[in-house]
Amino acid sequence: MSQDTYVNVVPTAAHATETVTRLRATFQTGHTKPLAWRKQQLRALRTLLTEHQEVFEQALHTDLGKSATESYVMEIGFLVAEIDHTLRHLDRWLRPSRVSVPLSLMPARASTVREPLGTVLIIAPWNYPLNLALAPLIGALAAGNCVVLKPSEVAPATSAVLAHWLPRVLDPQAVAVVEGGVPETTALLDQRFDHIFYTGNGTVGRIVMAAAARHLTPVTLELGGKSPALVEPGADLATAARRIAWGKFMNAGQTCVAPDYVLAIGEAGTEMEAHLTDAIREMYGPDPARSNDYGRIINERHFDRVAGLLKDGRTVVGGDHDRDARYIAPTVLADVDPDSAVMREEIFGPILPIVRVPDLDAAIAFITGRDKPLALYAFTASKSSKRRLIAETSSGGLAFGVPTAQLAVPGLPFGGVGESGMGRYHGSHSLDTFSHTKSVLDKPLQPDTLRVTYPPYTRRKDRVLRRIM
């Protein structure tokens, strides 16, 4: 299906108000609460993803030059697995959970019940434009909410596919896709939502949070940052280099959890230069521009930003770039100054600087002296180094031996801390995010065991209360 078969509605402030009012009215009817409705939405989404795979793969290729395999592994297949995991466990996750009651309140029953929040807004970015729009949508629907989804205008082909297909397969009374950029998002942010789930950069994250504050709306902010890949001598560095290269150069480095830079302890730095060079050649051949498996930079603005960082070190491998093709070769830089631009800002492109530190103490000081990253990766053979990294550093997630794969474990929460964001999702954590956990206490009126707590207080009542509380 070609892109121009899709009709893009340009929303205005009035359109935003009308959309949110309509979804709120749907939510009020209780239409989205039954488990059967939620499961039916998830199954419909699953069918769409599996039966129209090629439409999504084509859109992702148009936007980002992604190979069909990478699109499947990182986006479509990921989402299908997330839906399956949710469908498998949803009954259990939604079951009220019993809580014990203190002696002073007995007899009584206490439990927690999850209830949907209402109408939620999901704002998605361009780098995994399908995954990062639909993974939160899965959680929001599973929790029984109405949803306004705002895909990224920076990935227009995927945005158009979502705007075309979602209203056709999901309940249009409960799910709306609003396409557009800053004016449309601003119009949406003026509305009152019951939760806003934003994925993108921290500057816009602050705008979202300020807008949400006007309505006291809770937010999840899935942001980015510089995720280090720490490498210690003594680890299997050839394998470490292959895995770091895989995590870094997929999607041409435009992955929020990609290793941003290598933090090499001692001699590991020199060895990594050679191993990373080999790994890049193995994966993308002598000329990555000709590899079908290597992506492109999303647009000229981002190309100019990333290309500007190429000069910030000695080029070990790569460095070639072509603005017309939005191509930047997988590049490794060494002898990088920790104060240079490439080490100050999130790279979000296919440049991998190697920074050297003398020992683990210096590595930990380097990490903890900067903003808390979305992920920390470490390649080490030492159990004591692992223990120290767990105890002495803070990051959204920590993975030993492999980058980015923590996202593929549905039981693990995904989210940042500090500058890398707030809140978490995936699997049951999505349900936590998009539900309110309501406490329910049920105490029978008879026998009236609370008599002892009513005034007037006597010495006897006082003694009893002090004993039982």
Residues with catalytic function: 222, 256
Instruction: Check residue 150 for interaction with ligand NAD (CB under 6 A).
Output: yes
Which span sits near ligand NAD by CB under 6 A: 148-156, 243-251, 387-395, 444-452? 148-156
Count of residues interacting with ligand NAD (CB under 6 A): 28
Site string (15-54) toward ligand NAD, x via CB under 6 A: ----------------------------------------
Q: How far apart are the first and last CA of the chain?
A: 68
| DSSP string for residues in 250-279 | GGGG--TTS--EEEEETTHHHHHHHHHHHH
**Tokens found for residue 144:** 């029984």
Binding residue (CB under 6 A) for ligand NAD from 154, 230, 252, 307:
154
When asked if residue 223 is in the footprint of ligand NAD (CB under 6 A), the reply is: yes
Tokens of 57: 């793969």
Asked if 224 interacts with ligand NAD (CB under 6 A), we say yes
Does the footprint of ligand NAD cover residue 385 (CB under 6 A)?
A: no
Residues 52 and 183: their CA atoms lie apart, in Å, by: 31
Label the pairing between strands 97-99 and 421-422: unpaired
Omega of the bond prior to 11 within 30 degrees of 0, cis? Answer: no
- Least separation in angstroms between residue 330's CB and ligand NAD is 19
**Residue of 9, 35, 108, 182 interacting with ligand NAD (CB under 6 A):** 182
Q: Does 201 bind ligand NAD (CB under 6 A)?
A: yes
Indicate whether 227 belongs to the interface with ligand NAD (CB under 6 A): no
| Window 290-329: residues binding ligand NAD (CB under 6 A) | none
Can residue 220 be called a binding residue for ligand NAD (CB under 6 A)? no
Alpha helices in 143-262 (DSSP H): 156-169, 182-189, 202-214, 237-249
Establish if 426 lies at the interface with ligand NAD (CB under 6 A). no
Residue 8 binds to ligand NAD (criterion: CB under 6 A): no
Is 204 an interacting residue with respect to ligand NAD (CB under 6 A)? Answer: yes
Q: Judged by CB under 6 A, does residue 200 bind ligand NAD?
A: yes
45: number of Cβ within 10 Å: 23
Q: How far is the CB of 41 from ligand NAD (least distance, A)?
A: 22
Residue 200: both structure tokens together? 């993108």
| Both structure tokens of 241 | 């280099």
Q: Are 308 and 272 in contact (CB under 8 A)?
A: no
Task: Find the binder of ligand NAD among 32, 119, 127, 385 (CB under 6 A).
Answer: 127
Which one among 152, 220, 385, 430 touches ligand NAD, defined by CB under 6 A? 152
Give the one residue of 60, 74, 123, 342 binding ligand NAD; rule: CB under 6 A: 123
> How many angstroms separate the Cα of 19 from the Cα of each of 89, 147, 188?
31, 10, 9
**For ligand NAD, which residue of 45, 130, 132, 137 counts as binding (CB under 6 A)?**
132
Least distance to ligand NAD, CB of residue 32, Å: 24
CA of residue 48 relative to chain centroid, distance: 22
Q: List C-alpha distances in Å: 290 to 99, 328, 433, 457.
A: 60, 12, 43, 86
The CA–CA distances, whole Å, from 320 to 119, 307, 316, 351 equal: 47, 9, 12, 11
The encoded tokens of residue 468 equal: 């039982």
- What is the CA 46 to chain-centroid distance, rounded? 20
- Partners of 440 in the β-ladder: 111
Member of 256, 280, 309, 316 binding ligand NAD (CB under 6 A): 256
Min CB(112)–ligand NAD separation in Å: 28
CA distance 218 to 117: 10
**Per CB under 6 A, does 421 bind ligand NAD?**
yes
Query: What are the residues whose beta carbons fall under 8 Å from the beta carbon of 206, sequence distance 6 or more?
Result: none
Q: Which is nearer to ligand NAD, 116 or 125 (CB)?
A: 125
If the CB atoms of residues 285 and 308 are measured against ligand NAD, the closer one turns out to be: 308
Cα–Cα distance for residue pair 402/327, rounded to 1 Å: 26
Determine if 207 is a binding residue for ligand NAD (CB under 6 A): yes
Q: Which residue of 186, 239, 277, 291 would you call a contact of ligand NAD, by CB under 6 A?
A: 186
Q: Which of 6, 27, 78, 126 binds ligand NAD (CB under 6 A)?
A: 126
Per CB under 6 A, 348 contacts ligand NAD: yes
CB 76 within 8 A of CB 45: no
DSSP 150: E
Residues that bind ligand NAD (CB under 6 A): 123-127, 132, 150, 152-154, 181-182, 185-186, 199-201, 204, 207, 222-224, 256, 346, 348, 374, 416, 421
